[in-house]
A and B are shown apart, each in its own frame.
Chain A
Amino acid sequence: MKATRDAYGETLAGLKNPNIVVVDADLSVSTRTSKFAKKHPKRFFDFGIAEANMISQAAGLATTGKIVFASTFACFASARALDQVRVSVCYSKLNVKICATHAGLTIGEDGASHQALSDIGIMRSMPYMKVFVPADPNETEQIIRWIAKDDGPTYVRLGRNKIADLHDKFGKSYKTKFCYARAQKIIDGKHATIIACGYMVEKALEAAMKLVEDKIHVTVLNMSTLKPLDEKAILRCPKPIVTVEEGMLNSGLGNAVAAVLCEKAGKKDTRMIRLGVDNQFGQSGKPEELLKHYHLQTENIVRAVKRLV
């Protein structure tokens, strides 16, 4: 068990390319970029509690050929420094990888000011930006290695809490295998599909297993690339669809899937239920208590599927 931020920090510190530079804003212990800082002090820059400056500096560094990883909490990366992400990074089309941690409700006790719930939607709406949400530590490592070789603006949404690798929890055949811009079909079933990202993939798999007891067989898609979105997977998967995410309903994964369905599914069944946070702020609490409060537990997914099939 480890957090996706841990997998990020370890993978980053192990990357060999000498052009990699890492920047942070006084959160390197929490974002785990401190591991890289220890190993490569000359290629790590702490900009203090000044996220706007950090993001534009990252852009400037990228113009000199550096592969820049910029980290802070997801709430600050996506909101506090958004104008810098928009103009300095995206409009300038620069090679800056924003790897933001402590995303979603499961940051827990810190409460609403620190819970990034709109970040997926915000980052998806930036031209050129690629958006990733790894489902477990294993997939985090694969994504970090992949983006290190890629060029252009990138956002990776990472979590604070320790979670299991899916293959450890469910068995070998559930191992996450990252493929850029492709949803991973982890379970194949014909009655419906659950599309999830991040930690919610684990919940989706649990729900799928519970549903089997009632002879309902669902497909589970791990949508770890949020942009560009795997539209084919959405159109081909068994309908109806339930989406699950640790974020806002009005801008995240669910909305993105709904848009594809409405525009392109033709006469196919377009019914769906989106699970997520409905136009509210989060609050303090233990991660699992929060998931319960915001109806993001396994039972909620099971119920949503049953309502549709």
Chain B
Amino acid sequence: MRFKLTSDIKVLKEKANQMRRNILIMCNKAQSGHPGGSLSAIDIIVGLYYSVMMHNPSNPKWVDRDRFVLSKGHCCPALYAVLADCGYFPLKWLYKFRKIDSKLQGHPSMVDTPGIEMSTGSLGQGLSAAAGMALGYKIDNNSGIIYCMIGDGECNEGQIWEAAMSAAHYKLDNLIVILDKNRLQIDGFTKDVMDSSSLAAKFKAFNWNISEIDGHNCKEIISILNKVIKNPNGKPSMIIANTVKGKGISFMENKPEWHGKAPNDEELEVALKELQ
């Protein structure tokens, strides 16, 4: 059965809150993983799976589905939490995240995990793969939409720009990309590590549709996604989502050190309280 979507903002907010809890619990149990970028991405991923995408958890390979590729694969805790809640696999799998013999690998593996559309983790590749999917859908006249999320640090990769060029060249207006602009990468703020300012102008120059939103505002997220789907114009679309890395947890927000660090038990307790 197709997943039942909702546009009830209250429901979406509650889901996002619950997913934030699961992200933190997963990283805590694994004592590894990437909470910062998962927390900046989660409101958007919730918007996609609960309000926008046509998908079917009991038939993940349904041919007419919309697809989501998480190009910034290290943020898979956010995606795993949502996939489990949608019913792609049992919730208890979340507790084995990053552990030996787990179906939930440290970075997404499409061979191991139902609902994962592409194996990512090596930054820069997911966007190309998503563009390839969009091309495949075009060949088949499949009206499904391919969504992809990339990071702002990830935009340092040359392959992002190769993909950007080719997606515009092949007029992939069935490709919608969300850029999680949390202004941080591993070594610090993107402006200091590798200045990637004016990303909007850059993608515009590559002949993409550009829009910009607050990536934590559920209403803005679903309204922009729905607007973009309804107006195909022969160009791929880039939604620049202004976000906060570590969003929702006071001591993680805007802190580079929470990129790839797991909360210990006390930190988890404090964090979960903040989410109540």
Contacts and interface: CB of A to CB of B under 8 A. Distances in A.
A57 B166 contact: yes
B166 A53 contact: yes
A92 B118 contact: yes
A57 B111 contact: no
Interface string A168-197: 000000000000000000000000000000
Interface stretch (A43-51, A134-142, A261-269): A43-51
Given A57-B166, A92-B110, A84 B135 contact: no
Contacts of B142: 64
A65 interface: yes
A42 B162 CA distance: 21
Interface string B134-165: 11110110100000000000000011001101
B166 A50 contact: yes
A84 B117 CA distance: 16
Interface residues of B, number: 34
Given A59-B129, A87-B125, A92 B111 contact: yes
Given A52-B159, A53-B159, A64 B133 contact: yes
A21 interface: yes
A66 B139 contact: yes
> Sorted from nearest, which 5 A-B pairs have the closest CB atoms?
A60-B132, A64-B136, A56-B128, A53-B162, A57-B132
A92 B130 contact: no
Interface residues of A, number: 29
A21 B139 CA distance: 10
A63 interface: yes
A147 B163 CA distance: 28
Nearest to A128: B111
Nearest to A66: B136
A60 B170 contact: no
A60 B165 CA distance: 16
B137 A64 contact: yes
Contact of B133 (A48, A60, A83, A84): A60
A58 B166 contact: no
B220 to A, nearest CB: 28
A43 B165 contact: no
B135 A45 contact: yes
Contacts of A2: none
B248 interface: no
Given A42-B139, A88-B118, A52 B128 contact: yes
Given A87-B122, A92-B119, A61 B136 contact: yes
